[in-house]
Amino acid sequence: MDWGNQPWPFKSYTGAPPQSLGDPRMPSAEFWPSLLAWPPAPDPTASPLDQAGLAGLLALAAGLTAQAHGGTYLRSPASAGALYPTELYFSASGLGWLEDGLWHYAPEANAPRLLRPGDLAGATAQVLGNEPRTLSFMLTALFWRSIWKYRTRAWRYCLLDGGHLLACLELTLAACGLEQRLCLNPALGTKLLGLDPEREALLAGVSAGRKVDSRLGQLPDWQPPQEEPLSAEEKSDPDVMAAAALGQSQAPSPALHWPSGPAPEKAVRLSPEPPPNGPALGRVMLARRSRRNFIPQGLSAGQVALLLAAALPQDGPLGVTVLLGPEGELPAGTHRYYPGEKALALLEPGDQRGAAARACLDQMWVGQAALSLVLWADPERLSAVAGERGYRQAMLAAGRAGQRLYLAATALGLGCCGVGAFYDRELTSAAALPPGAWPLYLIAAGPVKNAPPI
Ligand SMILES: Cc1cc2nc3c(=O)[nH]c(=O)nc-3n(C[C@H](O)[C@H](O)[C@H](O)COP(=O)(O)O)c2cc1C
Question: Per-residue confidence of the chain (454 residues) as pLDDT tens digits?
Answer: 899 999 999 999 999 999 999 999 999 999 999 999 999 999 999 999 999 999 999 999 999 999 999 899 999 999 999 999 999 999 999 999 999 999 999 999 999 999 999 999 999 999 999 999 999 999 999 999 999 999 999 999 999 999 999 999 999 999 999 999 999 999 999 999 999 999 999 999 999 999 999 877 678 889 999 999 999 999 999 999 999 998 888 899 888 888 888 999 999 999 999 999 899 999 999 999 999 999 999 999 999 999 999 999 999 999 999 999 999 999 999 999 999 999 999 999 999 999 999 999 999 999 999 999 999 999 999 999 999 999 999 999 999 999 999 999 999 999 999 999 999 999 999 999 999 999 999 999 999 999 988 8
Q: Which amino acid is at 298?
A: G
Q: Which amino acid is at 261?
A: G
Rounded distance between C-alpha atoms, residue 195 and residue 115, angstroms: 12
Q: What is the pLDDT of residue 221?
A: 84
All structural domains of the chain, each given as residue ranges with its CATH number in brackets, are 3-246 (3.40.109.10), 268-446 (3.40.109.10)
Which atom of ligand 1 lies at the shortest distance from residue 75's CA? 27
Residue 371 burial class via C-beta count within 10 angstroms: exposed 0-12, middle 13-18, buried 19 and up = buried
Among 69, 74, 290, name the best residue to mutate to test ligand 1's pocket (greatest count of ligand atoms within 8 A of Cβ). 290
Which atom of ligand 1 lies at the shortest distance from residue 291's CA? 26
The candidate with the shortest Cα–Cα distance to 163, out of 392, 443, 377, is 392
Q: How far is the CA of 159 from the centre of ligand 1 (A)?
A: 14
The candidate with the shortest Cα–Cα distance to 327, out of 304, 348, 360, is 304
Q: Would the CB of 78 count as within 6 Å of ligand 1?
A: yes
| CA 348 vs CA 87, 231, 270, 336, 437: distances in Å | 41, 49, 19, 10, 17
Q: How far is the CA of 229 from the centre of ligand 1 (A)?
A: 25
Cβ neighbours of 23 (radius 10 Å): 10
301-311 and 390-411 helices, crossing angle to 10°: 140
The string of pLDDT tens digits covering residues 298-346 is: 999 999 999 999 999 999 999 999 999 999 999 999 999 999 999 999 9
Q: How far is the CA of 403 from the centre of ligand 1 (A)?
A: 11
Q: Are 327 and 370 in contact (CB under 8 A)?
A: yes
Q: How far is the CA of 164 from the centre of ligand 1 (A)?
A: 11
In this structure, is the dihedral angle defined by the CA atoms of residues 379, 336, 395 and 339, taken in order, positive or negative? positive
List, in order, residues 6 or more apart from 192 with CB less than 8 Å away: 91, 102, 120, 123, 124, 127, 219
Q: Would the CB of 289 count as within 6 Å of ligand 1?
A: yes
Rounded distance between C-alpha atoms, residue 74 and residue 63, angstroms: 8
The proportion of the chain whose per-residue pLDDT surpasses 90, expressed as a percent, equals: 92
The candidate with the shortest Cα–Cα distance to 11, out of 139, 122, 181, 125, is 139
Q: Would the CB of 363 count as within 6 Å of ligand 1?
A: yes
Rounded distance between C-alpha atoms, residue 378 and residue 230, angstroms: 36
| CA 227 vs CA 4, 230, 381: distances in Å | 20, 9, 40
Which atom of ligand 1 lies at the shortest distance from residue 289's CA? 26
Q: What is the pLDDT of residue 257?
A: 85
Q: How far is the CA of 145 from the centre of ligand 1 (A)?
A: 15
State the DSSP code for 46: P
Q: Are 155 and 236 in contact (CB under 8 A)?
A: no
Q: How far is the CA of 161 from the centre of ligand 1 (A)?
A: 9
User: 111 forms bridges with which residues in the sheet?
Assistant: 106
Residue nearest to atom 6 of ligand 1 (CA): 419
Q: Would the CB of 287 count as within 6 Å of ligand 1?
A: no
Rounded distance between C-alpha atoms, residue 186 and residue 136, angstroms: 12
